[in-house]
Chains A and B, each alone.
Chain A
Amino acid sequence: MSPGLLLRRLLGAVPLLLAISLLLFTIVHLAPGGPTDVYADNPSVTPQALAQIRIAYGLDQPLPVQYLRWALAMTRGVWGYSIRTGRPVTTEIAERLPASLLLGGTALALSALIALPVGILSAALRRSAVDRVLTLLSFAGISIPVFWLALMLQLLFSIRWGLLPAAGYETIVDAGGDAGWLDHLRHLAMPAAVLSLATIATWSRFLRGSLIDTLQQDYVRTAYAKGHGTAGVIIHHALRNALIPVVTIVSLDLASLMSGAIITETVFAWPGIGRLFVESMDARDYPVLMGLMMLGSLALVLANLCADIVYTLIDPRIRYA
């Protein structure tokens, strides 16, 4: 992909982000009572004080003016202040982001490590008993409700067997924690397993299908004819081409990973941005919610862009006009 084309695609993401921000802004400001609704229930906030707050936040201005001011501030990195804590939204998010990145990164790594061999095995042993069991398992993986699976794991591994901590990020030092990596790993185990299950299932299914398609192509038959074994043909010849369509689903799955993270972090009391979202929902903390939604959308748009780029890198046949 040439630098000019890359630039053009980057610029193409701008109107997309503008449309998303306009949509989200409209939704939040259509809410009954608007962003100051949370103060309306508070008896110690007088109507005069409420009016002052509205002026201070610029809510007395016409909506288009409010949107322009908000959008301009967003691009300068001023994301507003949390209604709940009064701290900048960027600080709130930055504090919680590392925990989510750790959880999400572990889940992605687990998914790739497990889905790759499972998909290959399933395709190689197509229609065998092994393939059928793996197929059923992957159907179960996309059908199981994440929050229920999380509850059941807590019940078995924490409450019944006492093997893993039921929730949290680390053992507090006062309670005998040492903040060592083993302690973190024990806290990470269940949330990462729960979060990665759906992606393992979809990726391995997708890889299986794509690998089966690839194995029917002529060049694969040529490779067999040259005397390669099945394993060699799959790993050295077919896999590379079979992975191309998988790239698209990897970037699309980032969206479902975000949804999964909200549930997983809530059940396991994981101090990431998914839990921050639910906490902000309870407090109707719209500035934080808007910040998180915009961050999530930005990540999705960038992931799609990256998928396009990776596409051209692993398959030189693909050229974008």
Chain B
Amino acid sequence: MLESAAARVSLVFLVLLAAAVILVPLCSRYAYDQQDLGLIGQPAAPDAAHWFGTDTLGEDSLTRVFYGGRISLEVGLASALVSTLVGTAIGALAGFFGGRVDQCLMRATDVVLSIPLLPLVLLLSGMFRPDLPLLVLAIGGLTWMATARVVRGQFLSLRELEFVAAARALGAGSGRLILRHMLPNAIAPITVSATLAVGSSILLESALSFLGFGVQPPTPTWGNLLNAASPWIGTAPWLALPPGLLIFATVLAVNCLGDGLRDALDSRD
């Protein structure tokens, strides 16, 4: 329902942000773990040399915020991809075959939905201390349920349509029917839920890292930058402001974009 203007502004913001985090190694005067030895001990306030100040280790906060954006965006996009692939596969199989296959897959969905998400991801990452790819698999592997339900619904109704019967009569097998005939017709809702998954994955990763169980320093992410900034919230608030604002703005932009896509792809209000 947000006008497409909001979606357009969001898209521009996200493109600029992506450019910034890709170009940060070329533009920044500092490496993300480069320490200014004279500033170790206490966070230093912003000045001409360090626009966002430095953290307790004397590292440039501006550089770390944008390097952190790299990891946060990477994790968000990759987790959303995993979650969309898993959700689409499960939803398509359940909706296409129906019957017992559908029942089994939907029971499995119920089981995963009935375990509180953040505690489960915390438990997993606390026990296995995952590296980035494993973290992505964990986040994506536990957030596919909404997509699966949407895709299943689409396939259940598509299955009854005549063009599917026609394709089947022409000798198309199940795999071909699913991939070539039905999936393209379900692409609109899949795109919308994939977009929304990017936002929720970024939020989940940052919450994990904030609590100390996600990506570990010295690799910066928006979440663990906030973790490091939180004890200094009273004395050095400039450390907590940029990463939090960027998470907020990014997730807001992704959600507005998803909403805009939903409106563009579906004319119902």
Contact = CB atoms under 8 A, between A and B. Distances in A.
Interface string A117-141: 0000000000000001001100110
B252 A145 contact: no
A258 B119 contact: yes
- Judged by DSSP, the binding face of B is helix
A151 B240 contact: yes
Which of A16, A136, A145, A151 is the most central at the interface, judged by chain B CB atoms within 10 Å of its CB? A145
B117 A155 contact: no
A42 B6 CA distance: 56
Nearest to B235: A159
A296 B256 CA distance: 31
Interface stretch (B21-29, B30-38, B159-167, B203-211): B203-211
A155 B116 contact: no
For chain A, give the interface size range.
35 or more
B2 A135 contact: yes
Interface stretch (A26-34, A80-88, A105-113, A235-243): A26-34
Contacts of B229: 151
A116 B240 CA distance: 33
Interface string A199-214: 0000000000000100
Nearest to B207: A263
Given A31-B127, A293-B119, A151 B259 contact: no
Interface in B214-237: 226, 229-230, 233-234, 237
Contact of A27 (B2, B117, B123, B203): B123
B244 interface: yes
Interface stretch (B58-66, B83-91, B107-115): B107-115
Contacts of B234: 155, 159
A300 B269 contact: no
Most buried by B among A132, A144, A147, A151: A147
- Sorting the interface of chain B by its residue count into under 10, 10 to 19, 20 to 34 or 35 or more gives 35 or more
Interface string B169-191: 00000000000000000000000
A135 B252 CA distance: 12
B210 A293 contact: no
A143 B118 contact: no
A249 B226 CA distance: 31
Contact of A266 (B211, B240, B243, B259): B211
B68 to A, nearest CB: 13
Chain A interface mostly helix, strand, loop or mixed? helix
A20 B203 contact: no
B248 interface: yes
A27 B199 contact: no
Contacts of B247: 145, 148
A143 B6 CA distance: 15
A296 B2 contact: no
A159 B248 contact: no
B120 interface: yes
Given A144-B248, A148-B240, A262 B119 contact: yes
Contacts of A136: 2, 6
Contacts of B243: 148
28 contacts: A19-B107, A19-B111, A23-B115, A27-B127, A31-B127, A32-B128, A139-B255, A143-B251, A145-B248, A147-B206, A147-B207, A147-B210, A148-B243, A151-B233, A155-B237, A159-B233, A258-B116, A259-B116, A259-B118, A262-B122, A263-B118, A277-B119, A289-B123, A292-B119, A300-B113, A300-B114, A300-B116, A304-B114
Interface of B: 1-3, 6, 107, 110-111, 113-120, 122-124, 126-128, 199, 203, 206-207, 210-211, 213, 226, 229-230, 233-234, 237, 240, 243-244, 247-248, 251-252, 254-256, 259, 269
Across chains A and B, which 5 residue pairs bring their CB atoms closest together, nearest first?
A148-B244, A259-B118, A143-B252, A143-B251, A31-B127
Given A28-B127, A147-B226, A155-B234, 17 more contacts: A20-B114, A23-B111, A27-B127, A31-B128, A132-B2, A143-B248, A143-B251, A145-B203, A145-B210, A146-B207, A256-B117, A259-B117, A259-B119, A259-B207, A262-B211, A281-B213, A293-B120
